[in-house]
């Protein structure tokens, strides 16, 4: 590619992408609402609020592909989530439509299906069961991607990312962990496969314990290599098992399923 856009490049996964995707394009255009630091060789940096449609259109111009990590990445008030994750995803797809239909890696989330029980196995056809407003916003983003694919031909990988850290941090992550190496190899496959379409892909490593089936997307050629079982003894030694009725044990989204809606607070309170 000539130019690859990474949104949310100041965040955790965006930082990984910024460091490790330099081989994929002549130029990385990296963007966030703030905190990008110095522009590195082979980069363009652009500050952008995803809720600003005109700014997003300028952001997407000239890009051959988009890795979309931008937006609110945790539960928050609806006003904050809606600006970045709802208005923002509409702005991104409108900009893509106006600027040559670049292929998109859309970072959805396991919280789009977080109210499924941990004893249920899901595949690409499993319907949404969000566990909070953040999860709802990812359902919206997946639906937006599908509509723009069907209406305008924009190809998107709708990647329901599990838990992408250097290593699993708790017992639930023994099933949901996605290593950073496996994340990078997934992004590579998304932009190399000749025909992508608009698939749902579960962003999860080759863990012994896993709730998600990616067999429907074997055509993209992604074969995760890492396994959370390597860390099982360490994780289990660091924490007691949760009670059987604890949301961390019951639901695939873990304790997100039990969190209350965060209420809007008046200015100054």
Catalytic positions, please?
A: 134
Q: Dig out the tokens for 228 from the structure.
A: 């959370």
Instruction: Give CA–CA dist 4/43, Å, rounded.
Output: 10
In angstroms, the Cα distances linking 213 to 157, 217, 255 are 15, 9, 22
User: Which one, of 178, 151, 154, lies nearest residue 167 by Cα?
Assistant: 178
State the burial class of residue 91 (Cβ atoms within 10 Å of its Cβ: 0-12, 13-18, 19+).
buried
Q: Are 35 and 15 in contact (CB under 8 A)?
A: no
CA 103 to chain centre: 15
For the four alpha carbons of 166, 170, 174 and 175, in that order, the dihedral sign comes to: negative
CA 101 centroid distance within chain: 20
Q: Where are the alpha helices (DSSP H) in the chain?
A: 12-20, 53-60, 78-81, 88-98, 133-152, 173-176, 180-192, 232-237, 247-250
Structure tokens given for 207: 């863990």
């Amino acid at each position: 590619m000539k130019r690859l856009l990474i949104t949310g490049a100041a965040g955790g996964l965006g930082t990984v992408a910024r460091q490790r995707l330099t081989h994929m394009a002549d130029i990385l255009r990296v963007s966030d609402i703030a905190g990008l630091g110095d522009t590195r060789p082979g980069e363009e940096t652009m500050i952008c609020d995803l809720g600003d449609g005109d700014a997003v259109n300028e952001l997407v111009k000239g890009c051959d592909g988009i890795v979309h990590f931008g937006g609110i990445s945790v539960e928050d008030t609806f006003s904050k989530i809606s600006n970045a994750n709802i208005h923002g995803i509409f702005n991104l797809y409108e900009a893509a439509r106006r600027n040559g239909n670049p292929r998109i890696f859309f970072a959805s989330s396991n919280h789009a299906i977080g109210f499924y029980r941990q004893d249920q196995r899901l595949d690409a056809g499993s319907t949404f069961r969000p566990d909070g407003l953040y999860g709802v916003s990812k359902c919206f983003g997946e639906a937006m991607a599908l509509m723009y694919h069907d209406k305008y031909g924009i190809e998107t990988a709708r990647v329901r990312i599990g838990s992408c850290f250097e290593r699993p941090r708790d017992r639930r992550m023994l099933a949901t962990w996605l290593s950073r190496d496996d994340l990078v190899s997934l992004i590579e496959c998304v932009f190399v496969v000749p025909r992508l379409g608009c698939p749902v892909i579960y962003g999860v490593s080759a863990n012994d314990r896993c709730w998600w089936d990616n067999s429907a997307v074997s055509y993209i050629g992604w074969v995760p290599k890492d396994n959370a079982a390597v860390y099982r003894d360490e994780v289990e030694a660091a924490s007691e098992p949760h009670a059987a009725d604890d949301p961390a044990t019951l639901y695939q989204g873990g304790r997100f399923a039990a969190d209350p809606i965060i209420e809007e607070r008046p200015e100054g309170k």
